[in-house]
Structure 1
Amino acid sequence: MDWLTNFPHLNDEALRLVKKGLDDAFRTFTRTYGDSIEGFFAPLQYLLIKCEHFLTDTPWPLIISLAAGLAWLASRNLTTVAGTVVTLVAIGFLNMWDDTMKTVSMILVSTIIAIVLGAPVGIAMSRSERIQRVINPVLDVMQTMPSFVYLIPVVMLLGIGKVPGVIAVVIYAIPPMIRLTNLGIRLVDKDVLEAADAFGSSNWQKLRDVQIPLALPTIMAGVNQTIMMALAMVVIASMIGVQGLGQPVLKAINNQYFTLGLFNGLAIVGIAIIFDRISQAYGKRLQRHLELMHA
């Protein structure tokens, strides 16, 4: 029975060798393909820089007017518009405008990428039980993994900066987009689909003209949750060099600057409320519009 006494030692040694092998393999991969990976993500960096320059270089009255116009188009509610204007004016008055615009640019780019990548995956899941069984455990892991963990592989592959931050944010924020796209399409009334079949619609026509339009309110809820989760990553992403409201908050935590952390934290909350109210209002208006169409 001596082997039982030696088992923990052997187990630790085997685990150490496995970890060492994985670390060495990852280092070799990053050294070999690091430049190619950076080149692959160059368009993303270009998009992020352009978006950031647009928001920071455009005069603030124009940006506030644009935000107010979007709030009105989405909600048709003067309270939402007034809240958007007051929040942005307060952010500018407290000298947090540039950091806020950098954060907004990152959220916009991250949300666009999450929609472009997540919606097709959600559609594929809604059309195949097999794909759903494969993807669901992956989404479960993504949603339970500590957010700090997402920073490790992207930093090792791409270093610190904007692009790794956006990638980490997208990975963290994309599960709601996938899940709610899948759910929305699955909840489309079967009678409506049967009517589409009766008119000879192909699968693509049913998806484009029936399922996606009827699922849009639920998909918009997925967009809303994606934006909220992206904002939740702002402070964490600042740890790898992402500029914006997260960096002053991190600085305040490290140096016990209470007012700096409070004001920038409130700015993050304000931006979150603006995004939340606008996206929710648009989703509700869209749902009412579709109900009237099918009444």
Structure 2
Amino acid sequence: MMKKFTVLSSLILTAAFAAGCAAQTKTASTSPSTGSAATAAATTAPAAQATAAPKGVKKIVVGTGTQFPNICFIDDKGNLTGYDVELVKEIDKRLPEYEFELKTMEFKNLLLSLETNKIDFIAHQMEVNEERKQKFLFNDEAYNIFPNKIIVHKDNNTVKSIDDLKGKKLLVTATSNAAVLAEKYNKEHNTGINIVYTGAGEDAKSLIKQGRADASISTQFAIDFVNKSVDAQLKTVGEPLSNSKVYFILRKDQEELKKKIDEAVKAIKADGTLGKLSTQWLGADYTVGS
């Protein structure tokens, strides 16, 4: 029997998203919360009513986002999809003892939601850093690897690497690994980059196109996607700032769930499913070497 897969949304992006649901996916509705702050991209709402898991099956709430192109985003039919989303669904199929439920939220809220037990693990291309390792548990089996690079407007020929950003405005998403990379580089090289924190990656891309910012940090596959989908007019420059392996993040008391996820990811790699998902969503097999 096919397991029911539920999507809980704490972001109402568009009318299509609020109403949309895929054939095999149940979408729980939400209502606006009082006193919450609206952003340009999304409106925060309280957690949706979770459906009960079948007897003997443990409910697992998976935190993800909606604004990372090809990773976790809303398609033109209003459905939550992307590489991380479809991988979570595949893992769910292979772990009959669990029923996964995707809950969307702003990126900046993911780690706090994990820490406060509102979600059970995060699927959002999360990279390891020392601050995260102190608080959380990462699974062992990386599910992809990608290079982080400086991105600029396609007509910008003065910025060829991060060294050329002295005194210029570099946009990064708050709490992201891109922010950690930029802060570390500024500290170690005394570069004087003006690091500006934004709420979402889409903000950075639009601000660069409008000439209101000089650069950001992203991946080639994300830039290829936004250039095609919204004519972002961006390009990557310079050598990779890092080649990042990405993992799921759990709480430190979730060793058993971590073990099961690792077993599933290894199997998904071994039978070629992970490589196919990467090629489908990212344009190439970024699981090589992960």
Query: TM-score by structure 1 length?
Result: 0.25
Query: TM-score by structure 2 length?
Result: 0.25
Q: Which has the higher helix share?
A: 1
